[in-house]
């Protein structure tokens, strides 16, 4: 097995992250540093270590869903001392957990983790077009023509986006989405009551939208709405492929199993 594939499947990092570990000289095989990409190992007999810690293929991969609060960075450690997602998932119980993609520090909602690096790599691959759904509190109210620009794909500084499914929410749907956005805002340790009140102030100057994208560019949803002149005041991810956040409270996690896990792997075969 290729070494970077072994590291990804063992949960040491994503496929790309595993390559970075190798080129940085942090990976050894039977005590010898291996930096050449494409090097192969035999998992039955070779001892692979990262920073001196032996990594092994687990008998069963574990995949989790986390409701990420705001003011938390999507990293497993942070040299700046900021709160990171590793503090919210059971890395001691499931060594090798790694976030699948990332959410911005200010963005809340569904974040997947897995010890199966191959799953994470596949879910994020552009050719798979796995859907991610968000609800967003917007400054102003986009016109139908502005929304049509997003539905057809819009030019950003890193290229044209794929068409997105986007609609403004009204009535009970808008109220439910706004309630979620306000509740997650309350989980921010430094959030003032004034901020929460401002977030809850749905006047004619703000609207709530649902958007489904198929890519994972940096701050993509925020940049898309900015491109049509309606910046995002708050953003929350509710779905990743067939997995929904459900009733997870901010900061809590659950294991993905059974039919839901089968559907997640099944999304890669479409």
pLDDT above 90: residue 205: no
Output the pTM of the full model: 0.77
Average confidence score pLDDT of the chain: 87
- The catalytic position among 78, 104, 106, 239 is 104
Q: What is the pLDDT of residue 202?
A: 54
pLDDT per position as a tens digit, 166-196: 999 998 998 888 888 877 766 554 555 666 6
Distance CA 112, CA 121 (A): 12
Residue 199 pLDDT level (bands cut at 50, 70, 90): low
Q: Of the ranges 54-63, 78-87, 143-152, which one carries the lowest mean pLDDT score? A: 54-63
CA 250-256-257 angle, to 5 degrees, is 150
Q: Which of 53-62, 97-106, 151-160, 173-182 has the lowest mean pLDDT?
A: 53-62
Express as a percent the part of the chain with pLDDT over 70.
91
Contacts of 196 by beta carbon, 8 Å cutoff, 6+ apart: 182, 185, 186
Half-sphere exposure of 81 (CA within 13 A, CB side): 0
- Residue 79 C-alpha from the chain's centroid: 20
Q: Is-catalytic flag, 104? A: yes
Instruction: Answer whether residue 201 shows pLDDT above 70.
Output: no
- Give residue 189's pLDDT: 47
Identify the top-confidence range among 14-23, 72-81, 162-171: 162-171
pLDDT tier at 95, thresholds 50, 70, 90: confident
Determine the pLDDT at residue 104.
Answer: 92
Predicted confidence (pLDDT) at residue 204 exceeds the cutoff of 70: no
End-to-end CA distance of the chain: 26
- Given a contact cutoff of 8 angstroms between Cβ atoms, the answer to whether 221 and 39 are in contact is no
Q: What is the pLDDT of residues 98-133, one digit of tens each?
A: 899 999 998 999 999 998 888 888 898 878 889 999
């Amino acid at each position: 097995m290729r070494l970077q594939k072994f590291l990804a499947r063992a949960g040491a990092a994503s496929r790309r992250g595993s390559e970075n570990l190798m080129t940085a000289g942090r990976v050894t095989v039977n005590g010898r540093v291996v930096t050449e990409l494409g090097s192969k190992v035999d998992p039955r007999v070779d001892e692979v270590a990262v920073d001196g810690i032996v990594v092994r293929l687990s008998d069963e991969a574990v995949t989790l869903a986390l409701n990420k609060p705001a003011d938390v960075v999507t990293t497993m450690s942070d040299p700046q001392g900021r709160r990171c997602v590793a503090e919210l998932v059971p890395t001691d119980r499931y060594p090798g957990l790694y976030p699948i993609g990332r959410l911005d520090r200010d963005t809340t909602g569904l974040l997947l983790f897995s010890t199966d690096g191959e799953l994470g790599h596949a879910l994020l691959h552009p050719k798979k077009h796995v859907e991610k759904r968000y609800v967003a509190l917007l400054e102003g109210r986009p016109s139908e023509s502005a929304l049509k620009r997003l539905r057809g794909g819009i030019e950003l500084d890193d290229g044209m986006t794929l068409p997105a499914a986007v609609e403004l929410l009204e009535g009970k749907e808008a109220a439910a989405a706004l309630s979620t956005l306000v509740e997650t805002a309350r989980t921010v340790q430094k959030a003032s009551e004034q901020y929460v009140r401002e977030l809850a102030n749905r006047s004619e100057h703000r609207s709530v939208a649902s958007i489904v994208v198929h890519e994972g560019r940096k701050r993509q949803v925020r940049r898309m709405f900015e491109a049509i002149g309606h910046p995002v005041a708050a953003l929350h991810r509710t779905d990743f492929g067939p997995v929904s956040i459900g009733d997870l409270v901010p900061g809590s996690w659950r294991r993905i199993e059974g039919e839901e896990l089968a559907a997640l792997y099944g999304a890669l075969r479409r």
